Chains A and B, each alone.
Chain A
Amino acid sequence: MTLAPDEDLMLQVRDGAGETLGVLFDRYQTPLFNFYSKLTGDRTLSEDLVQEVFLRILKYRQSYRPGTPFRAWVYQIARNARIDHFRKFPPQTALEPEMLPPVLPTDSAQEQQEVELLQRALQQLPEEKREILLLCRFQELKYEEIAVLLGCELNTVRTRIHRALQDLRKAFHQLAHGTMLKKAEAAAAESIPPRGGRHEV
């Protein structure tokens, strides 16, 4: 049995079968939630924005045209919902590392540490760079779809992805270097014996 394509389901929603939207909700809830949570670091806001996206799908369902890739259409709505939100409520706090989701235990401690560093490095990127990496790596949008979404040329998308990746590599490197230094300092501190009594008054 093959699953009905998103586009067919959306056409049914457009033509009045509102309950079909539930299937699309199940398919897109988690990816959209991750898009928002990795961008904003705020779970509550991300959940609210996902609900807003589906409300907008219902409201603007008549504007969906056959042949439009649903994934690209829904991310257009998702971006607009976020932009509208931050226009109304400008963000007041920068992302704090403690707002990041917990990293689940993985096979090796080193891998877990790398994932943590990568998460922190990603949060250090400017928002537009973080967004483009999320769109192409996690939301699996094609470069052509991202170009339409961001309103730019295909080559510009390629350049932006490469720059974002360059910055991510640098941020990751710096963080990894910092962690190594801290470890070295801690190891050195442990190996130094306590100071003798003659130095004390």
Chain B
Amino acid sequence: MKCEHIAELLPDYLQGRLSAEQHHNVEAHLEQCADCSEEVVIWRKLSLLPVDQPDPASRARFEAMLQAYKAGRSNQPEGGTEWRKRASVWSWNVFHWLRSPLGAAAWGAALLAIGVFAGLRLAGPKPPSLDLAAMQSELASMKQLVVLSMLQQQSASARLEGVTWSTRDQQLDPQVLSALLHTLRYDASVDVRLAALDALSRHGRQPQVHKAILDSLQQQQSPLVQVALIDLLLEWRDPDAAQRLQALQQAPNLNPTVRQRVEWARSKLN
């Protein structure tokens, strides 16, 4: 049997899906052919590659997203599943366009037009309530799109504005929440990170958001954000505060001001 024939059978051989006869033929070839048998060895060695473990904070981030998603859903009109499905496909398409400044301006105009339209409908005789509910929901989803698009802008001031926008709603959309948590951890600008922390802390009563915010302390590099997070720890009387502060204090290369703040916070706790 030649290598070309083996090539057809090898993938099934590797998964043990050959008939006894085919299996025997492949084994006979492997004994003679160094290249093919090496491929089998490489395949087996692949199982030795280490399994990467995700950050333990991922679970809290998922819980926060789930909770926010459920909270968002309970505000949606009943029986609107089909509508929401269509709306989400539609919103996904416009999302790319929205990222341009022109798109943002156009959305501003669109929001105004919808406001006028909604006003006229409200003033008109017997407005159908389902339409109105759908309109409100559409408005909410547009706000969410504006925030998400602004958080991804190149300019820090646009991202700052995006964070400010996110504070206009009482309820946090799960996608916005996830984007804000990401901003808090990874945004290049300290100002934007601080603003994200401020926006998120408004929702600190939700246990999962609370946890996700405080979990970010260990990863923060900026002293300003670290200090703000330490203050939050105290303000919220977090049950794990002592533990978190101790962990932070042991971090190498900790800024002296932050170290002082940690010591101060620990003395307050005691």
Interface size class of A (residues with CB under 8 A): 35 or more
Q: Which of A25, A37, A51, A111 has the most CB of B within 10 A?
A: A51
- Given A18-B70, A51-B61, A58-B69: A101 in contact with B43 (beta carbons within 8 A): no
- Given A44-B186, A143-B11, A158-B11: A58 in contact with B52 (beta carbons within 8 A): no
Does A119 sit at the interface, judged by CB under 8 A?
yes
Contact (Cβ within 8 A) B48 A33: no
Complex Cα gap A19–B88 (Å):
22
Closest to B54 in A: A33
Note all chain A residues with C-beta closer than 8 A to B54. Answer: 29-30, 33, 46-47, 50
Note all chain A residues with C-beta closer than 8 A to B70. Answer: 18
Closest to B40 in A: A165
Closest to B58 in A: A47
Note all chain B residues with C-beta closer than 8 A to A27. Answer: none
CB distance from B142 to the nearest CB of A (A): 17
Does B170 sit at the interface, judged by CB under 8 A?
no
Does B51 sit at the interface, judged by CB under 8 A?
yes
CB distance from B204 to the nearest CB of A (A): 20
CB distance from B126 to the nearest CB of A (A): 32
Note all chain A residues with C-beta closer than 8 A to B8. Answer: 158
Within the complex, which residue of A19, A43, A51, A115 is in contact with B178, where a contact is CB–CB below 8 Å? A51
Contact (Cβ within 8 A) A118 B42: yes
Does A179 sit at the interface, judged by CB under 8 A?
no
Note all chain A residues with C-beta closer than 8 A to B186. Answer: 44
Within the complex, which residue of B15, B38, B52, B178 is in contact with A143, where a contact is CB–CB below 8 Å? B15
Contact (Cβ within 8 A) B52 A101: yes
CB distance from B166 to the nearest CB of A (A): 17
Interface size class of B (residues with CB under 8 A): 35 or more
CB distance from A172 to the nearest CB of B (A): 6
Complex Cα gap A38–B52 (Å):
9
Chain B 165-196 interface mask (CB, 8 Å, partner A; 1/0): 00000000011001000100010000000000
Contact (Cβ within 8 A) A114 B48: yes
Does A59 sit at the interface, judged by CB under 8 A?
yes
B27-74, CB < 8 A from A: 35, 38-39, 42-43, 45-55, 58-59, 61-63, 65-66, 69-70
Note all chain B residues with C-beta closer than 8 A to A104. Answer: 50
CB distance from A29 to the nearest CB of B (A): 6
Note all chain A residues with C-beta closer than 8 A to B11. Answer: 143, 157-158, 161-162
Contact (Cβ within 8 A) B66 A169: no
Complex Cα gap A66–B175 (Å):
27
Note all chain A residues with C-beta closer than 8 A to B81. Answer: 62
Closest to B53 in A: A30
CB distance from B71 to the nearest CB of A (A): 11
Does A166 sit at the interface, judged by CB under 8 A?
yes
A20-62, CB < 8 A from B: 21-22, 25-26, 29-30, 33-34, 37-38, 43-44, 46-48, 50-51, 54-55, 58-59, 62
Contact (Cβ within 8 A) B50 A54: no
- Given A22-B62, A50-B54, A166-B39: A111 in contact with B48 (beta carbons within 8 A): yes
Chain A 63-88 interface mask (CB, 8 Å, partner B; 1/0): 00000000000000000000000001
Within the complex, which residue of A44, A51, A137 is in contact with B62, where a contact is CB–CB below 8 Å? A51
Does A188 sit at the interface, judged by CB under 8 A?
no
Note all chain A residues with C-beta closer than 8 A to B35. Answer: 169
Contact (Cβ within 8 A) A137 B43: yes
Note all chain A residues with C-beta closer than 8 A to B55. Answer: 43, 47
CB distance from B268 to the nearest CB of A (A): 33
Complex Cα gap A165–B46 (Å):
10
Does B7 sit at the interface, judged by CB under 8 A?
yes
Provide a sorted-by-A list of 18 A–B residue pairs whose CB atoms are within 8 angstroms: A21-B66, A37-B52, A38-B49, A38-B52, A46-B54, A47-B54, A50-B54, A51-B58, A51-B61, A51-B65, A54-B66, A58-B66, A101-B52, A115-B48, A118-B48, A118-B49, A165-B10, A169-B39
Query: Chain B residues in contact with chain A, CB under 8 A?
Result: 7-8, 10-12, 15, 35, 38-39, 42-43, 45-55, 58-59, 61-63, 65-66, 69-70, 81, 85, 88, 96, 174-175, 178, 182, 186
